[in-house]
Chain A
Amino acid sequence: MRMACIALMLAATLPACAQETTVRIHSARPFGYFVGDLIHARIDVSAPADAVLSRASLPSPGPLSGSLDLRDIKLSETSENGARLWRLDLTYQNFYVALDARDIEVPGFELSISTAIGAQAVAVPAWRIGVSPLREVAPQKQEQATDYLRPDGSSAFVDEATLRNLAFGAGAGALLALALVARDRAWPPFQQRQARVFSALAREISRRRGAGDAHFAASIQSVHRALDRANGAILLSGDLPEFLRRRPEFEPLQVDFERFFETSKQLFFGGESSKDDYAAEQLAQFVSRLARQERAG
């Protein structure tokens, strides 16, 4: 922060601890303020470590005189070298319409602090700043009264391209989000065709062929799982009529279905192998027929 210390280290006139309580006023510059300018000042008050500042004694924002307002005040409290340090950031605003360069007074105020020996007043002294005029006292003669006025400032050129790009970007983002939601909810055009479970199964079964009878039971289980997926729930042989009613494309395979379920029943629950010669070959044929019907449907 480019803050030059103007002034002053003032010893507050405190009898008991004069050497311990100090007030320092810093200002960005002590001169060159026009009407309407904000004047930033920082006041550091240093006091013994046990001192407590009475917040009620801080100046209140508001008019200080006919031409000076206190706009804002901020207080921060720290410790420095074993002493208590209060830092007041004050913002004044100058309304003095100066006709020549001159000093005006920023009024002082008193702060109350409490220490071990009792309440004390710390005076922040008045300080001065230099204000300057905006115009000459006797300007050159003009013909028109309006000529005394400064011309209006030119309008700043606003670059629309950035805003347009932002709008297009936001629009594209919204469309992308809509597409993602539509995909998630399977809205058109994301209504995908039903997954071809039997085509995938046919590939799996053909991979397993030749792996021996040990994989026959696993293959039958895979067919069951694929049928469950096609049915939307576990499909038992008793559910077959209902399943074929809902998926009429598989109706021509009813006999194959019944043979498959009978084999599965014998293999997994009857405790004996199939009575007919239903084996890997027949199972593969059944699955490829299922896949064909699935594609046709």
Chain B
Amino acid sequence: MNETLHVVQKLSDWRARALEFEQEIQKAVIGQARVVRLVTICIFARGHVLIEGDVGVGKTTLLRSLSRALGGDFARVEGTVDMMPSDILYHTYLGDDGRPRVDPSELLRHAETLPVFFFNEINRARPQVHSLLLRLMAERSVSAFNRVHHFPYLNVFADRNMVEREETFELPAAARDRFFMEILMAAPDDEEARRRLVFDPAFHDTEMLLERVSSGTLDYRETPAVARAIQTHVRSSEALERYVLNLWRALVDPSSAGVSPPDVDLDSLVKGGASPRGLAALVRAARVRAWLEGRDYLIPEDVRDVFIEVMAHRIFVDPIHALRSDDIVKRLCRAAFDATPVP
């Protein structure tokens, strides 16, 4: 009993700190409250993130402030078409004596203290690199210098270049499924935020901007334990579980569930991806959201709030719809919600 009370108290404290953490991030990244909330959910669900957004909307600023607020290190690599896995793991250079040297890369050097690893333009890298990343994300470890390096606090954030198609390699389904969420980051809609971003000199200097974020609002070393506590503490009722399973059925077999998004042949729409792992991720994210909202039980709004971000990138539709699959999947998700009664 005392143990439970202790956990409840601890989670309550951590919730206050998580909300404070969000406030800190929003000192540097304005007009992006929802993105910050989703990223916070990912931190406390221990999930890796795909970020989709135009250039210059503040993705790097967001991740650097995240890393600063978590008190850990920050590593970043740029995806290029000629990048090999070794480029991520090793740093090769010529020493003072003119001899070639191979040292651990930034990623390996910070392995034990790295909560944020940013892979920019991941779809420019080749499948070999995706493959290394797959292991890094799934097992939080890599092999280098003949031993295994562990990344106990790692969250991978990857950005996809959605503008150019040449010399890009679409992420394989398995790799996309490893990402916990895909978050769309667009320029803020709020007029005041837009004005400040353009005219306020404080937002023109990223280094100065990051100074605003208090360092170590959360301790990244504690997040794994808190994440576990959230998952065991937040309850799901039978009605909620039935609701999630009905949603799943509506996604996998839309026509039988009465889901009817317009202009789409439902018989062969979903080819895969609405996997048990995806649904498990959905429930994990929803639990963290419930916790951040101050509840110890799940409600349908928790599921709906994170659904598109957690599920849409894992649903693979018939190749005939490939060019507009994002739109179709989102419409399918909304139609599934409209057709699934609750409670």
Contact = CB atoms under 8 A, between A and B. Distances in A.
A79 interface: no
B330 to A, nearest CB: 15
A234 interface: yes
Interface string B282-303: 0000000000000001111100
A271 interface: yes
A271 B304 contact: no
A238 B341 contact: no
A250 B338 CA distance: 21
Interface string B303-343: 01100000000000000000000000000000001111111
B343 A264 contact: yes
A268 interface: yes
Interface in A179-235: 220-221, 224-225, 228, 233-234
Is the interface on chain A under 10, 10 to 19, 20 to 34, or 35 or more residues?
10 to 19
Among the interface residues B235, B339, B342, which one has the most CB atoms of the partner chain A within 10 A?
B342
B301 A238 contact: yes
Given A221-B343, A269-B237, A237 B297 contact: no
Contacts of A234: 337-342
B132 interface: no
A269 B298 contact: yes
Contacts of A269: 237, 239-240, 297-300, 343
**Most chain-B CB neighbours within 10 Å: which of A221, A225, A267, A271?**
A271
Interface string A275-290: 0000000000000000
How would you classify the secondary structure of chain A's contact residues: helix, strand, loop or mixed?
Answer: helix
A265 interface: yes
Nearest to A228: B341
B304 A268 contact: no
A270 interface: yes
A225 B342 contact: no
A175 B79 CA distance: 69
A221 B239 CA distance: 11
B337 A270 contact: no
A236 interface: yes
Contacts of B305: 238
Contacts of B299: 237, 265, 269
Contacts of A271: 235, 237, 297
A237 B338 contact: no
Given A269-B237, A269-B240, A270-B237, A237 B342 contact: no
Interface of A: 220-221, 224-225, 228, 233-234, 236-238, 264-265, 267-271
Given A268-B240, A269-B239, 7 more contacts: A224-B341, A224-B343, A236-B300, A238-B304, A265-B299, A269-B237, A270-B237
Interface of B: 235, 237, 239-240, 297-301, 304-305, 337-343
8 contacts: A234-B341, A238-B304, A267-B343, A268-B237, A268-B343, A269-B299, A269-B300, A269-B343
